[in-house]
Structure 1
């Protein structure tokens, strides 16, 4: 391995990662503005100018933030991580990664143009029978294909490392990157299938109708693992980077790998729990997938145990006494640690909300309410995005040859804390309004009757307040990003990669046995989806024709 790769990401790979991060920051600004305007509309105190439709804005917000922003950040982060831990990309691998970036960008522009032209106001789930322009679907297909090409570059580098280091466990962060992208590639087969073979021919007028139940099932085969595509990079940071930032050690390499393997197993064959209120799917299969969904609790608790064991071990090494004495020893003034740590805490209520969503009886209460929107904001927009911000504070200057100054660290702390305050206003009020019956995806306060709408108004105003604070935080993030990319003092910013504690057990080589892990994943997916899909195809009702939402 190139020794320099252990110290610093090769500048050529750094430029590749930074290209992804430039799109990330632009997407954050655009999507954040769309979200701010949405909260103003829902408050009942604001009307959109220039004939902009609410659902046009809602689609822009969902697609740009949940799909575009996250995908670009994650792909850039994974390329940087693999280059750092497995070695500099070869010219062929780097070329593949740049082709991936080009496909992602072209696809994003195509989809964005259709949304801005109001030809694709179909929300980020793009449920049929809502119909968008064919260019929108082609753009999304290019985004998926582009991510596959980027995955190939990572897999090639991993294979190259394995050949050069026989009999050794792969670098932990590289292993985690491979798991993340394998899960993503398997999951996106579902959305690619429905877009290419159902939605795109229908949008082009080649067929008149579409099997809505089948298209939604294929979407949610992808839609739930999408949540883990967001989450696993955050887990990578929590497990393998935060320990180095605080000056501690990784509690257990094996435990970290096992949790990722279990997340691979249990993240994909569970999409039916998003369809508990939908007809056409046998309740027995819904129940089976609910059970598989709850099994995700196991790796989540393993993660919590491992992380807090790391924190406690570090605190004890610094002389902490008592049950929670270690808590005071953590570096609370370091934004690289504090902001992701707040994200970790935010994932606790986020996970609890997920248990509600996946439960048969409780799902009936919240399914079509704004509770669901609040849940997504608590998980991806709070826990995950705060962790991404924490990464950006050190990774951007590392890649650009600059340093995180004390001034920028202080501003980063303010940015993360304002994001936390804004998201607590936003998500908490959404959860409460949802329990009161407030609908999701709706701009209209009158829905459900004037008396009930009046009951929701304080929560909708709270969402507007939260959205305003969040947008201020976005402005701060853009400022910090630009400073760290172009204006911060030149220097060497550490790329923190944690080391395993000395007393930890040696990592078994079985974790690099992909035939075993992919085989088990395939068996679970075939078991969970074969009969439901056959049933949806054989017993399909008359197809639905398309219509425009706005």
Structure 2
């Protein structure tokens, strides 16, 4: 096949600059770790679905829950965190300026702290000393090195976020009374949410799990540890999602040759996600009796509030698509859809992710609802939901971004051949995830538990009830692993083998018809005060109640 670059929108190229080579190196370092995690975590996922099909046994004494932990930790925590900070580093460098030497040094320190922490946790999982899944619920106990490793990943991410925040603050100082470029604003929002959210899980690890695993205390308060985890665990979903929203809002419009429909609408949706993403973790604990129902209800209400920015996003994006389609001659109600660049993987992959997010979001409403949650809680329905939202909507967007981000960082081009392979990879991923996730949802409605292997279902007859769905999951999982191999092939080619050249970092301009962005949207002092107030309202009394009613440990002190 021809190795010619695919066509790009030349009308904006003169307005865009190439990233500084030193910042590109830092960004690529994150992507290397992210995609190593993708391969290993994907392999673990393939082994899982094969085991659950009842036709495969793990060799060499490997524990099923060891494999389950590898899959969850590497894909849910490591792949996402490293990709996001790699992408955000590049985005900040292009949107608000090249990092200074000190800012870049902080970025590298954050990268190495996260990498060392990842290695520590991974070694313990491989040694079967930390088969505690990615939620690491007590009373399951891991080796202290595993907990220390996860703590380093969090601390390293804080350092990386600080590097990006300092770059933003420098831009604000140099450009007083100007509106921050949209992509830079979005990165700041995501990092702010991430920092607030990770305080809870860092507290759990440092003050509960680490002392417990080291033998300094004989027991920990299980309910408190879960509450601290889920103060982080649900916001983690939005930490995954907001970078995808960055790409949907600020980059995809440029790829299709259009404009951002509304800068103000985009910023408002991000502010709302920041405010309503952290104080909602109790909706993961609706079945736990130790938390008063009124506080659960409050957080369910706050959870439902995130529907609003999701609908704002859907309106804004499809308005952009329709306006561009009609500019290109699309007539009628839906004819404009035909005018969109379906042959361009940079658009095709994120767009499929957007479509899948619709049923994924609907499933999220079920998960967060009091009555419906009783039906699907701790069933494989929840796993299917995660695979629609994070593993499809978010990952397809990340894949689509990789196809232009990596050649931009490496000084190469996205060729027609790689573009076509990317289209095939997207279709394989969507097909495999569709088969696997639908079977998970149906099996979950029938009562199939999550986190369980075939041999743990409680008897052959019970296992046969869901066997056909487990086989379907194995088929879907196999397609997904093939898609991972194909993606990694494309990634390697884009790093070292495609022709050298310049691939744009496609940042879109705002529509000339958009209204001016209100200054209050950039008043982070106000939003931080409101965010902290919401977190305190949502968690202060529940945590106080848990601690005050904690049982005494064997040594006569409270377990907290």
Which residue in 2 is equivalent to 1:375?
A: 385
**Given the alignment of the two structures, is residue 365 of structure 1 paired with residue 409 of structure 2, yes or no?**
no
CA drift of 1:452 comes to 3.4
Which residue in 1 is equivalent to 2:22?
A: 12
Match 1:96 to one of 106, 115, 123: 106
**Given the alignment of the two structures, is residue 219 of structure 1 paired with residue 229 of structure 2, yes or no?**
yes
Q: Equivalent residue of 2:465, what SS?
A: helix
- Structure 2: distance between partners of 1:544 and 1:149: 39
Which residue in 2 is equivalent to 1:345?
A: 355
* 1:479-518 map, 5 Å: 479-518=489-528
* 1:359-438 map, 5 Å: 359-438=369-448
Q: CA RMSD in A?
A: 1.4
CA drift of 1:450 comes to 3.8
- Structure 1: distance between partners of 2:381 and 2:118: 29
Match 2:150 to one of 137, 140, 143: 140
Q: Equivalent residue of 2:195, what SS?
A: helix
- Compared CA separation, residues 502 and 487, structure 1 to 2 (3 A): same
**Given the alignment of the two structures, is residue 168 of structure 1 paired with residue 144 of structure 2, yes or no?**
no
Match 1:447 to one of 445, 449, 457: 457
TM score, norm. by length of structure 2: 0.96
Which residue in 1 is equivalent to 2:304?
A: 294
CA drift of 1:448 comes to 4.9
- Structure 2: distance between partners of 1:512 and 1:235: 18
- Structure 2: distance between partners of 1:439 and 1:504: 49
- Structure 2: distance between partners of 1:9 and 1:511: 28
- Structure 2: distance between partners of 1:96 and 1:478: 29
CA drift of 1:509 comes to 1.7
The one-character-per-residue Cα deviations of 1:431-480 (angstroms, maximum 9, x if unpaired) are 00000000001003562554332120000000000010001000000100
Q: Tell me if structure 2 keeps the 8 A contact 1:18–1:76.
A: yes
Number of equivalences: 543
CA drift of 1:544 comes to 10
The one-character-per-residue Cα deviations of 1:381-435 (angstroms, maximum 9, x if unpaired) are 0000000000000000000000000000000110111001100011110000000
Which residue in 1 is equivalent to 2:8?
A: none
- Structure 1: distance between partners of 2:495 and 2:66: 32
Q: Tell me if structure 2 keeps the 8 A contact 1:212–1:544.
A: no
Q: Tell me if structure 2 keeps the 8 A contact 1:6–1:85.
A: no
The one-character-per-residue Cα deviations of 1:326-356 (angstroms, maximum 9, x if unpaired) are 1011000000000110000010010000000
TM score, norm. by length of structure 1: 0.97
- Structure 2: distance between partners of 1:95 and 1:234: 26
Q: Tell me if structure 2 keeps the 8 A contact 1:129–1:544.
A: no
- Compared CA separation, residues 446 and 222, structure 1 to 2 (3 A): closer
Q: Equivalent residue of 2:301, what SS?
A: helix
- Structure 1: distance between partners of 2:353 and 2:21: 30
Q: Tell me if structure 2 keeps the 8 A contact 1:100–1:149.
A: yes
Q: Tell me if structure 2 keeps the 8 A contact 1:336–1:390.
A: yes
Match 1:536 to one of 537, 543, 546: 546
Which residue in 2 is equivalent to 1:272?
A: 282
Which residue in 1 is equivalent to 2:6?
A: none
Match 1:78 to one of 73, 88, 91: 88
Which residue in 1 is equivalent to 2:338?
A: 328
- Compared CA separation, residues 109 and 319, structure 1 to 2 (3 A): same
Where does structure 1 differ by over 3 angstroms across 4 or more consecutive aligned residues?
A: 3-6, 448-452, 541-545
Q: Tell me if structure 1 keeps the 8 A contact 2:16–2:505.
A: no
Which 5+ residue runs of structure 2 have no aligned equivalent? 1-12, 556-560
Q: Tell me if structure 2 keeps the 8 A contact 1:100–1:146.
A: yes
- Compared CA separation, residues 542 and 461, structure 1 to 2 (3 A): farther
Match 1:51 to one of 61, 73, 86: 61
Which residue in 2 is equivalent to 1:117?
A: 127
CA drift of 1:483 comes to 0.2
